[in-house]
Every structure is written in structure tokens, then in C-alpha cells.
Amino acid sequence: MPFFVCTALIHPTLVYWIHLYLDKTDASWVSFVWMMDTHHAEPGPIWFVLTLLFIETVYAFYRRFFAGTLSKLIPDKLPSTTGIFMFMILTGFVAYLIRMVYPVGTSFFGLQFGFFSLYIGMYLVGIIACRCNWMEQLTLKGAIPWFALSLICILILMIATRAEDVTPFLGGLNLSALFYAMWEPVMCVGISYFLLAFSKEYFNRPNKFILTLSGDSYAAYIIHPMVVVCCTFLVEQLSASPLAKLALVLVIGIPCCFAISHLFRLIPGMKKVF
């Protein structure tokens, strides 16, 4: 339900606001939304929900007809260093191959297929981690080397992309595209591993406030584009540096997203949807 509402109504409305702010349209809201829905339909930021719906449908089909066929291949212990590197190489190389056809920035109905190998890979790792209790085995000591590797990769990418033209990194048969495709899984695994282990070590305690935010997080994700755009319009009126404006949008926008989401979910029946 949120996917269809956002695609048909919220995202077109958001685009309409932006066009009005930039003085790029004089159409009415109704005609603009109708034009978007009939000629330029796309989910906007809700593409992630569409992706999850697709992946989870495939997984549900697997569980219904093939459950248990691969269970013997899943290790109970955390993956070895070799196993983690193999995951990075596999997801990165598949992304590199896909980007020869769909470079970064190329989308179909809001979906950039060049990132999907890592999305699917991390989704599967999450399922396996849950079933094999990998979270219980995570340690901060084991995560720090991978986090350090991800920080090094950030510096390398900053140096590598100093040139004005970064087009080669987006896709194609070249070393820059291969480097960027391999860079992403290293970053994703390194930072995710560290945040999970760090949170387990220091934040894995009952907290009513955090539980409330967790319950409101899905609704906050749904409405955040409209809140962020409104906050951006407001701070654009200020005479400040872009970095200061960004900080102000974060300080105002994030609490507003969760506050509005919490109030929205107090409406009877909304918790069944969000």
C-alpha cells in the first residue's frame, strides 16, 4: 500500500513542489500528477520498497518449494577472511558486468540494476546470519580491521576521483569501472560489520525511546523526501555555506520525520500499514 500511494501520489507531488520552487511549471497540481503517473511514472525514493518486495517474493517462493536444499552448504560459524573476500569479489564483479549494460545512473522504473548484486548478496547474508546466529559471534575486535580497510578505500576513491570527469567509474570495459564496482562491497561489508559489532557491544540494551523510533522508522522513511525537500526550501533562504545548510537540514529534518511519523501512526489503523 505505501508503495502504490507513494508512486501515484507522494512522489509526483514532491516533483511538482520542486518544479514550482524552480519556476519550471505553471500547471495545476492535478494535471501535473496525472502527467507524471501516465508518462513518467517512477517510485522515487520508495524504489527500495519495490526492491524488497521483489526479493522477498523470490525468497518466499524458494522457502515454499525448495527450503532445506541449500541448508547443508551454510556454515554455522562466521565466514573466514577468505570467505568475506570471495563475497566482495563476487558481488563486485557481477556489478561490473551489469554496468557494462546499465551504468551507474541508468535506471528502469527507478531501479539501478548496477547495484543489485550487492543488495541481493547482503539480503542473503542477513538471512543466513539470522539462521546461524552469526550476530552472537560478532566481536568488535574482529570488525575493526574491516572498518579500517573501508576507511582506506574512502581515501583511495577520493584520490582516484580528483579528475573532473568521473564517467569511466560509472560503467564500461575499463579499470576505473572495475575499481568502483569492487570498492562498493568492501565499503558495505566493512562499515556494516563494524556498526553491527559496535552497536552490539555498546547499545544492545532495552531502551523505550529507541524502540519507539524503531517502530516509527518505516513511516519516517516513507515521508522523509517531503520533509527534507521542505527543509531544503527553508534553509535556501538563509545566507550560509552549503555545509552549514546541510547540517541545518539534518538537525531539523531528522527529528521532524520521526515526530510526524509518530503522530501519523497514532491514527487508528495506521500501525497495520506502517
- 132 membership: H or E segment, kind and range: none
- 59 membership: H or E segment, kind and range: helix 47-65
pTM of the predicted structure, to 2 decimals: 0.79
What pLDDT digit, counting tens, does each position of 203-261 carry?
A: 888 888 888 999 999 999 988 988 988 888 888 888 888 888 889 999 999 999 999 99
What pLDDT digit, counting tens, does each position of 47-66 carry?
A: 888 899 999 999 898 888 87
Average pLDDT, the chain: 87
Grid coordinates representing 185? 562491497
Q: Is 20 left (phi over 0), alpha (psi -120 to 50) or beta?
A: alpha
| Residue 52 Cα to chain centre, angstroms | 11
- pLDDT band at residue 73 under the 50/70/90 scheme: low
- Three-state SS for 108? strand
